[in-house]
Amino acid sequence: MVAMSRLKKITLVLLVLLLLSLALGYFLAYKPVPPTVTYGMSFSTPYARELGLNWREAYDAQLDDLKIRHLRLAAHWPMVEPEDEDYNFEELDYQIRRAEEVGAEVVLAVGRRLPRWPECHIPLWVRGQTSELQREQLLAYIEVVVNRYKNSPAVKTWQVENEPYLRVFAFEHCGELDEALLDAEIALVRELDPSRPILVTDSGNLGTWKGAYQRGDLFGTSVYVYFWNPELGQFRTILPPFAYRVKEKLISLVYGKKPTVLIELSAEPWLIAPVIETSIDLQFTRMDVHKFNDILAYARDTRYDKQYLWGGEWWYWLKLRGHPEMWERGRLLFERETPPET
């Protein structure tokens, strides 16, 4: 009888612990299902050029054909300041003006670490300078860009750097993170334009989110579902979508709740060689419409109500080569986002 009573107590304790664990898991993973998901797109002028595209044509096609109305653009430092104090705003002026014309909303990214390989984009004339001088030059470039576009009605958010805490990726190009410099960049943008929120981002698969989440008015994460490397080949993420919800809940409990977005949802092939040097057949083994649909379903289950896709330049490149499948799938996605013209 004593043994039976002890067994019942142990069973009851284990049952209570199980129920508490389930309740805790439900609490951490709970995030309301958004009634709608707003989709946006990143656009990179340097990447469009790398693909041999006319960047204006590619950009206009996203606005006029796909009807994209939420954009993430990047003021790549070598593009806007190719020589010391010699600024080139041809690309960004055009892109911001066109966004204004169609009523699109823009996240404009500034800093040395911005989207697209090699992650950290530094003009040739800056390299070799002392770290202090590079810091001064970086802040000067940011000041010029922010002052130029802070009166644009299209620019809704400033992104400062891109995944600055992702130390394990592209370290050979970026080196150690200078956290004091990151704080100085954020403070400068906030001082120059206190009217707009600042977005700071971190990797969804590899980042802890701690440093980035603390610093921004908004937080953005990336979501990659399909990967490839020479040792493992192609593989799908082992993270379930609810892991993003749990991560967000935990970080918000520590640092307070703030708006979050899925700022980089990859819908292009993971390649080692450049796209233009890789056969289309091989590209389609890494990314195609079926994988794209799987990625969209995965991302919907993370329950972010705003999601920015990544890969539109590639879709357009394929379309010009007689493979419009990705482009047309994107069209169906963005058709829901655009109000009918009156």
What's the pLDDT at 26? 59
What's the pLDDT at 282? 96
How long a stretch of residues is the chain? 342
pLDDT at position 3 over 80: no
Q: Taking the mean position of all CA atoms in its chain, how far away is CA 292?
A: 17
What's the pLDDT at 339? 47
Q: Taking the mean position of all CA atoms in its chain, how far away is CA 223?
A: 8
User: Sign of torsion, CA 309 258 190 152?
Assistant: positive
What's the pLDDT at 255? 96
In which band, very low, low, confident or very high, does the pLDDT at 17 lie, cut at 50, 70 and 90?
A: low
pLDDT at position 28 over 80: no
The contacts of residue 308 (CB under 8 Å, 6+ apart) are 39, 40, 41, 42, 70, 72, 107, 261, 262, 263, 264, 265
What's the pLDDT at 19? 60
Q: What does the pLDDT look like over 59-85, one tens digit per residue?
A: 999 999 999 999 999 999 999 999 999
Mean pLDDT of 102-122: 97
pLDDT at position 99 over 80: yes
Q: What does the pLDDT look like over 211-250, one tens digit per residue?
A: 999 999 999 999 999 999 888 899 999 999 999 999 999 9
